[in-house]
Amino acid sequence: MKSIIIVKLDDVIDCSTVDVLFLIIDLNLQESKMHDSSQLKKEFIKKWVQGLQICCSSKRQMSILERKRNIKLSADIALASAKNATTSWSKALISEAKKDREKNILVDNLLGHESKFMGAHQKVTSHNRIRSKKILRRSCGIGKRIKKMGYRRSDSPTCIAKRLVKKRTQVLKRLVPGGESMDEFSIITEALDYILSLRVQVDVMKNIVNATNLLN
Amino acid sequence: MNRAYPEMLDLHNATVTGRADESVFERQQARMKWQQQQHQILFNENDHQVPIPSSCLIGNIKPDPGLLNGWPDFSDGCDDLFQPLMADQRILQRNSSSVSLSPKKRKNLENQKVLSEVNGIKGKKIKGSSNESSTETSTKEKSKVTETQKPDYIHVRARRGQATDSHSLAERVRREKISERMKYLQDLVPGCNKITGKAGMLDEIINYVQSLQKQVEFLSMKLATVHPRLDLDIDNLIMKEMFEVSAVSYSSEMVNSSYFQLNSLLEMGINPIDMLLRRSMGGTQVPETFCVSSCFNQIQPSVTWDGDLQNLYRMELHQDTIPYNHSQKFTGSYEGCNLKMEM
């Protein structure tokens, strides 16, 4: 193991310390294949390292805010691509990033061939879905208005509860990427998955922050 | 139904010929004829005594998919067989405007109380290829959703007094699915166990997602502020570290700070269990790493695998006490490090 590290460090002399750090982590992760979350962690770190390298190589001097944005962006995309686009929130994240030209480079580099395969197609479908949903909602709204004119039942407790749930579901839809075009059942499934992967992301980032603190 | 249709035609290629030229009426007739045949076969196979005239719509029998498995004779075509059946029923029901007032009935073959009972038959809902063939009837049993082996069917049992038209049945299935998922979410989100009610749970979930997202923001900000400082003395750090690492042999005596740092780095964000395994397999090559990792986990116990790790670590301690000494050494050195950092 010692020798591997030395070799890696030799390769990396001209990179930044952070990269060294990631490489060491990366190296260790390659050997660990335990359960699902560690697998995801490994994927995530691998992608993130790539993403950060791309980000850092593009511009040498950046303000802190810019750095932060880049770091977050690369982390998000890494997370999405670590999920391998099996879930719709990750697809939505990637297609969102693809709209931006600068981010597009990052996505292309991270995903490789897959992104070209699914990119444009995905964008169109998600747009369409949102639009049709909007139309549907509008037409539903008309129906509701007529109903409410007839008799007012919005005061009953079940109605209030329903309204509360609906409002919260809409908030949740806004929180989960790509949630606008989902129905109630799939939004909950997606939220489940999204929470799990956010946890992985937070875990990894925390560890790295601690590591960098120790380095200083 | 759209899906079932071609299959059915395929099945009856022998009986129905030249389907392109046929009129709709003829096709329907052929279908009805076929259905009668199927019923006959069906009842012969099962020794079922109830005669079903094709005109009697109430008597249409939809066999229970669960029962299908018990029919060895049907094994070759049973999957395809019932989709046409359902399609036919719809057509027949549509044809008969006179019977439209009476509710459509369908029974379990299991029950064997066919036709005689009008109230209190077990209801069943079929969802899938033939989109919505509905059913009804109330039972005193609890409403329950069972997924059968065939993905096309979902069984629903309605409680007494519950609505039994297809829409409310579908709605009930959907709601039950959602609440099942909500239960998973409840387990996932901390502090969600005590809350009852969907709105409160959703609130908690939203808060949790938001807090996670904010945490990511915060951490990335932190990383962004950390990096510039690192960039200043990259070269120094790397050179130093490199030489030290290459010089260091992995012995327990080497407790200099940079070595410690490297070890700690090794442990960040990785699976320490893997280390443990490697260690237990390959002897005491990397005991220090392991000890450091354990120190770390005591310091920041938020990581998910902590519990397992610490348990394992304790087990290890019981097995041999040598690493324990190491760990003590290391905690000492770690404190030293902390002091240095504070200074």
Q: Is the pLDDT of residue A34 over 50?
A: no
Any B CB within 8 A of A39 CB: no
In three-state secondary structure terms, B221 is helix
Decide which of A185 and B343 is more confident. Answer: A185
Q: Provide the residue type at A134 as one letter.
A: K
ipTM (interface predicted TM): 0.70
User: What's the DSSP call for residue B104?
Assistant: P
The C-alpha R_g of chain A, in whole angstroms, comes to 22
Decide which of B196 and A31 is more confident. Answer: B196
Decide which of B80 and B216 is more confident. Answer: B216
Tokens representing residue A168 in the block: 């919260």
Any B CB within 8 A of A34 CB: yes
Q: What is the mean pLDDT of residues B49-65?
A: 42
* DSSP character string of B38-75: HHHHHHHHHT------TT-GGG-----HHHHTT-STTT
Tokens representing residue B206 in the block: 């939203």
Chain A residues lying within 8 Å of B209, measured CB to CB: 172, 175-176, 191, 194-195, 198
Decide which of B49 and B205 is more confident. Answer: B205
pLDDT tens by residue, B13-32: 444 444 444 455 566 666 66
Tokens representing residue A199 in the block: 């946890």
Residue of chain B with shortest Cα separation from A25: B266
Helical ranges in A59-112 per DSSP H: 64-82, 88-99, 101-111
- CB contact set of B4 (below 8 Å; sequence gap of 6+): B83, B84, B86, B87, B129, B130
Task: Report CA B95 to chain centroid distance, whole Å.
Answer: 41
CA dihedral over B241, B246, B250, B255, signed as positive or negative: negative
* Cβ atoms B184, B169 nearer than 8 A: no
Quote the mean pLDDT of chain B.
51
Tokens representing residue A164 in the block: 């509360």
Distance CA B318, CA B53 (A): 78
Any A CB within 8 A of B264 CB: yes
pTM (global) more than 0.90: no
Residues B181-206 as b/e (b if ≥16 CB within 10 A, e otherwise) read bbeebbeebeebeeeeebbebbbbbb
B174 phi, psi to nearest 5 deg: -60, -45
Cα–Cα distances in Å, from B124 out to B130, B159, B283? Answer: 14, 12, 63
Residue A33, min C-alpha distance to chain B (Å): 8
User: Does an H or E element contain B277, and which?
Assistant: helix B272-282
The predicted structure's pLDDT at residue B152 = 67
Any B CB within 8 A of A28 CB: yes
Q: What is the mean pLDDT of residues A46-57?
A: 74
User: Does an H or E element contain A21, and which?
Assistant: helix A17-31
Q: Identify the CA nearest to A83 among candidates A68, A96, A94, A95.
A: A94
The predicted structure's pLDDT at residue A204 = 84
Q: How confident is the model at residue A65 (pLDDT cuts 50, 70, 90)?
A: confident
The predicted structure's pLDDT at residue A143 = 54
Q: Provide the residue type at A132 as one letter.
A: S
Based on DSSP, count helices (H) and strands (E) in chain A, helices before strands: 9, 0
Pick from A12, A18, A195: CB nearest B208: A195
Size of interface A-B (CB pairs under 8 A): 197
Q: Provide the residue type at A107 as one letter.
A: V
Is there a contact between A29 and B197 if contact means CB atoms under 8 Å apart?
no
pLDDT tens by residue, B66-123: 444 444 443 343 344 444 444 444 444 444 433 333 343 443 333 433 333 333 333 4
pLDDT tens by residue, A90-143: 888 878 777 776 666 666 666 654 444 444 444 445 555 656 666 666 665 565
How many C-beta neighbours within 10 Å does residue B139 have?
A: 15
Distance CA B196, CA B204 (A): 11
Side-chain-side CA neighbours of residue A131 (13 Å): 6
Distance CA B118, CA B127 (A): 23
CA dihedral over A124, A129, A134, A138, signed as positive or negative: positive
Residue B119, min C-alpha distance to chain A (Å): 30
Q: Which of A33-47, A171-185, B62-76, B262-276 has the highest mean pLDDT?
A: A171-185
Is there a contact between A198 and B262 if contact means CB atoms under 8 Å apart?
no
Any B CB within 8 A of A214 CB: yes
Q: Provide the residue type at B180 as one letter.
A: E
Tokens representing residue A156 in the block: 């009953």
